[in-house]
A and B are shown apart, each in its own frame.
Chain A
Amino acid sequence: MRSGCVFFKKEIKAILRTYRIWVIPLIFIFFGVLSPVTAKFTPALVKAAIQADKTQQQIFGQIKIPEPTAVDAYGQWFKNLSQFGILALILTSMGLISEEKTRGTLALVVTKPIARTSIVVSKFLSQTGLLAASGAMGLGACYLYTILLFDKAPFRPIALSTLAFAAFALLVLSITIFFSALLKHQMGAGGLALLSVFALSILASLGRGLEKYSPGALPGMALKIATGSQAFSKTYPAIAISIAASVVMIAAAAYVLEHQEI
């Protein structure tokens, strides 16, 4: 337990002393700022493009583009989170364990009195902390720019929907860590984690009422909560399953590493 704390402290230092402390928060802040800006100015840009082209004017002249609102900004934020946010999460987490194996740093650690489970848990907790802080900064940036660019911007819907999305992100992180523990090469771990995200999305779109319980449906639910078309309470089953599946994946990662040759 004590050596687990020592390793966790090392992980926190690794975050603070390497690129991770800058890159991950900056990615989320970037999309936090970009989302309301895109929502605000995209309709104006589309309008200007149509007006500049006579042919397009004839085709689209009759279409009225509605004025953007804070809901559009939130929608954009979740689209970015679902694509680039998840991609950034996988790319920055896929090497957490596998890279230590290929570089050889793990061999010196595991020959000392530390349980391999502590290594997995330390990696998971520290990366969760970093991603949660980065996500919160991105959310703050998104909300701030939404207030600045739009008249009305309620905080509660975007906060609750980000929370629902975070449960999905937690599962993706634990899946990535599992593959990172299982495989020696981080590209393989990242590839399999990405495939798992696709599999979760497909599972959520199968219908038959499964989406209510499916973690893969959480990004879509988050979008609906942000736009006010779904109550947060409806996400409880999927959030609970997401958290439970995360625990299972981390336990599986610990088991795999415990029995693995380093």
Chain B
Amino acid sequence: MNAIEVRNLTKNFGDFKALDGLDIDVPEGAVFGFLGPNGAGKTTTTRILVGLAHPTSGRIKILGRDGIGEPASIKRSIGYLPDVPAFYEWMKAGEYLAFAGEMFGLRGADLKSRVAALLDAAGLAEIDRKIGGFSRGMKQRLGIAQAFVNNPDVLFLDEPTSALDPIGRKEVLDMIDSLSEKKTVFFSTHILADVERVCDSVAIIDRGRLVIQGDLESIKQNYTRPTFSIELDADAAPLAEKLRGVPWVSSVASDGGLLTIDVSDIKSAQMELAGVVAGAGLPVRKLELKEIALEDIFVDLVEERNGKQTEKAKVLGGAE
């Protein structure tokens, strides 16, 4: 079952189409990376999903319920962290969490223990000053804590690490990791390393439209180019020449001691390449099947889309 379903979502600001028929499916229990370059429509989508903005048209379902118009039953089941969370600066962290918890009906001992646990998880249990004196990282951790106060089924995080330094980022990602077990997390970001670290499925959007969607591993597999790289402690040209005559090799590029080989039949290549290289009698330093990074897929897809606007978005992994 999908925790979040978005169908043909559009949002216009005057003549500008921020969202242009967006479709996404977020499986229940997934940590879902919602990726896109700046201005792609990530924040607009997130704001519509949590009820802060209204779509021009389209349909959304959260936990099987119609999500337009922020019904109270949905609000009870979600947590939300905007990119730059703002708090009442005269409050202390515990007070804010208690205020947030009370809005969900938590009272007495339940509220107290929930606040204490979240303060602990956020590393703010020992901090006794007002929120006005918090660093950006502390505010972000408090933001995550308040988003978890109702133990939500679905959590919306809008660029939670984009304004943080590397240490702040690590702390926030660790916190998300530790708290989000068995929850659906909708993680909007343009930081690909964060997605690779915490997400198991992703959608990439650009200019308000879906470019690709699916689980991270299948996307990587589908986009992994069957390419090997070989590093030699000698000139690679003779080996390159030899490889050009092999039937499953489609192209070879050599640069000093480095060879990049595109193959048409990966299985044959995996079985036979090492033998061909050994037969050349050259000193080998490294031979590997190149792993593709999400960043390469992201850049390729966004650039391809910008070059071919009319091409239909490719959808993988169970999406429509």
Cα A163 to Cα B78 in complex, Å, equals: 46
Report whether A112 and B104 are in contact in the complex, using a CB–CB cutoff of 8 Å: yes
Cα A111 to Cα B81 in complex, Å, equals: 10
Contact with B along A8-46 (1 / 0, CB 8 A): 001001100110000000000000000000000000000
Number of interface residues of A (CB under 8 A): 22
> Which residues of A sit under 8 angstroms from B88, Cβ to Cβ?
10, 14, 105
- Majority secondary structure, A binding face: helix
Given contacts A3-B102, A6-B102, A262-B52, contact A108 B80 (CB under 8 A): yes
Contact with A along B273-299 (1 / 0, CB 8 A): 000000000000000000000000000
A107 interface residue, CB < 8 Å from B?
Answer: yes
Within A68-111, which residues are at the interface with B (CB < 8 Å)? 103-105, 107-111
> Which residues of A sit under 8 angstroms from B84, Cβ to Cβ?
104
> Which residues of B sit under 8 angstroms from A105, Cβ to Cβ?
86-88
A261 interface residue, CB < 8 Å from B?
Answer: yes
| Least distance between A92 CB and chain B CB atoms (Å) | 16
B188 interface residue, CB < 8 Å from A?
Answer: no
> Which residues of A sit under 8 angstroms from B99, Cβ to Cβ?
6, 10
> Which residues of A sit under 8 angstroms from B82, Cβ to Cβ?
104, 107-108
Cα A87 to Cα B78 in complex, Å, equals: 42
A113 interface residue, CB < 8 Å from B?
Answer: yes
Report whether B90 and A14 are in contact in the complex, using a CB–CB cutoff of 8 Å: yes
> Which residues of B sit under 8 angstroms from A3, Cβ to Cβ?
102-105
Within B60-79, which residues are at the interface with A (CB < 8 Å)? 70, 72, 75-76, 78
> Which residues of B sit under 8 angstroms from A262, Cβ to Cβ?
52-53
| Least distance between A175 CB and chain B CB atoms (Å) | 25
- Majority secondary structure, B binding face: loop
> Which residues of A sit under 8 angstroms from B80, Cβ to Cβ?
107-108, 111
Task: Tell me the B residues contacting A by CB distance below 8 Å.
Answer: 47, 50-54, 70, 72, 75-76, 78, 80, 82, 84-88, 90-91, 99-100, 102-105, 143, 146, 150
| Least distance between B43 CB and chain A CB atoms (Å) | 11
Which single residue of chain A is at the shortest CB-CB distance from B50?
Answer: A111
A64 interface residue, CB < 8 Å from B?
Answer: no
Within A100-144, which residues are at the interface with B (CB < 8 Å)? 103-105, 107-114
Report whether A18 and B103 are in contact in the complex, using a CB–CB cutoff of 8 Å: no
Given contacts A112-B103, A112-B104, A113-B103, contact A104 B86 (CB under 8 A): yes
Q: CB < 8 Å: which of A10, A14, A17, A110 contacts B51? A: A110
Besides the known contacts A6-B99, A103-B86, A108-B85, 14 further A-B residue pairs in the complex with CB atoms under 8 A apart: A3-B102, A3-B105, A10-B88, A10-B99, A13-B91, A104-B82, A104-B85, A105-B87, A108-B86, A111-B51, A112-B150, A113-B104, A113-B105, A261-B52
> Which residues of B sit under 8 angstroms from A110, Cβ to Cβ?
51-52, 70
Report whether B75 and A107 are in contact in the complex, using a CB–CB cutoff of 8 Å: no
Task: Tell me the A residues contacting B by CB distance below 8 Å.
Answer: 2-3, 6-7, 10, 13-14, 17-18, 103-105, 107-114, 261-262
Cα A114 to Cα B76 in complex, Å, equals: 10
Which single residue of chain B is at the shortest CB-CB distance from A102?
Answer: B86
Give the one of A13, A14, A109, A112 with max B CB within 10 A. Answer: A112
| Least distance between B82 CB and chain A CB atoms (Å) | 6
| Least distance between A94 CB and chain B CB atoms (Å) | 18
Cα A234 to Cα B319 in complex, Å, equals: 72
Which single residue of chain A is at the shortest CB-CB distance from B48?
Answer: A261
> Which residues of B sit under 8 angstroms from A261, Cβ to Cβ?
47, 52-54
Give the one of B75, B90, B103, B104 with max A CB within 10 A. Answer: B103
Which single residue of chain A is at the shortest CB-CB distance from B105?
Answer: A2
> Which residues of B sit under 8 angstroms from A2, Cβ to Cβ?
105
